[in-house]
């Protein structure tokens, strides 16, 4: 409740200002704010829902220097459609809100995209990054300097298994588990796993 009250009142209960990473995130010279953080996802109707039920596309965007306050844009679109049809217009709204608060446009866009299957990566990247670029040009003008766009697809990997389905001491040859020796790329990355089985640790953090 404290966090919700802080955001609603325009205040903040915590900040990352003292970290070096925070200065890099802000992106501007001498610690000035030059970054907007965007996050997008599409919620689909249930499989047993009425015919013609729409999907809901949502985009949130930061407006403050602490990356705590986010405003949102929401659109309805054809059901079960993952590609956001009105992405350009929604990004325009978030850029204009950022500009209204900070008096200028950001030079950096950090975009998080959730809910995309591996087979849709290329389509989302080609269409939605293009929509972000066109939205920026529409707001800033075609002669404006292009922003630095970092587009991150958030993958949950729900189907990756670390344990056999049956606790018999053997693993089926068709078992789709994580391949040894690692499940992350690079020595600096870590894996946080939250198993749903009571037979394993409820919540643990391991570095691989």
Q: How far apart are CA 42 and CA 124, in angstroms?
A: 12
Mean per-residue pLDDT for 96-106? 97
Residue 172 has pLDDT above 60, yes or no: no
pLDDT tens digits along 19-73: 677 777 888 777 789 999 999 999 999 988 788 899 999 999 999 998 989 999 9
Percent of the chain with pLDDT over 70: 65
Put the strands of the sheet holding 108-114 in their side by side order.
70-77, 55-62, 35-43, 108-114, 148-154
Nearest CA among 93, 8, 104, 91 for reference residue 65: 104
Q: How far apart are CA 4 and CA 67, in angstroms?
A: 14
Residue with more model confidence, 186 or 116 = 116
pLDDT of residue 183: 64
Residue 90: how many CB atoms within 10 A of its CB? 25
Task: Note the pTM of the prediction, 2 decimals.
Answer: 0.76
Hey, what domains does the chain have and what are their CATH numbers?
32-44+52-156 (3.30.420.10)
Tally of residues, the chain:
208
Q: Which tokens in the block code for residue 55? A: 């999907």
pLDDT of residue 167: 58
């Amino acid at each position: 409740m404290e966090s919700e009250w802080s955001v609603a009142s325009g205040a903040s209960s915590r900040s990352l200002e003292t970290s070096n990473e925070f200065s890099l995130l802000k992106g501007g010279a001498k610690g000035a704010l030059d970054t907007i953080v965007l996050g997008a996802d599409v919620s689909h109707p249930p499989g047993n829902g009425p015919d013609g039920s729409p999907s809901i596309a949502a985009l949130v965007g930061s407006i403050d220097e602490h990356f705590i306050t986010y405003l949102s844009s929401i659109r309805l679109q054809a059901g079960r459609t993952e590609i956001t049809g009105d992405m350009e217009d929604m990004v325009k709204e978030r850029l204009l809100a950022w500009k209204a608060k900070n008096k200028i446009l950001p030079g950096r866009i950090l975009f998080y995209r959730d809910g995309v299957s591996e087979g849709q990566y290329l389509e989302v990247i080609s269409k939605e990054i293009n929509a972000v670029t066109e939205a920026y040009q529409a707001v800033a003008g075609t002669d404006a300097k292009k922003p630095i766009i970092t587009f991150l697809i958030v993958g949950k990997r729900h189907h990756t298994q670390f344990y056999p389905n049956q606790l018999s001491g053997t693993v089926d040859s068709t078992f789709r588990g994580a391949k040894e020796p690692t499940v992350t790329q690079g020595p600096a990355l870590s894996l946080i796993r939250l198993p749903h089985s009571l037979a394993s640790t409820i919540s643990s953090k391991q570095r691989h």
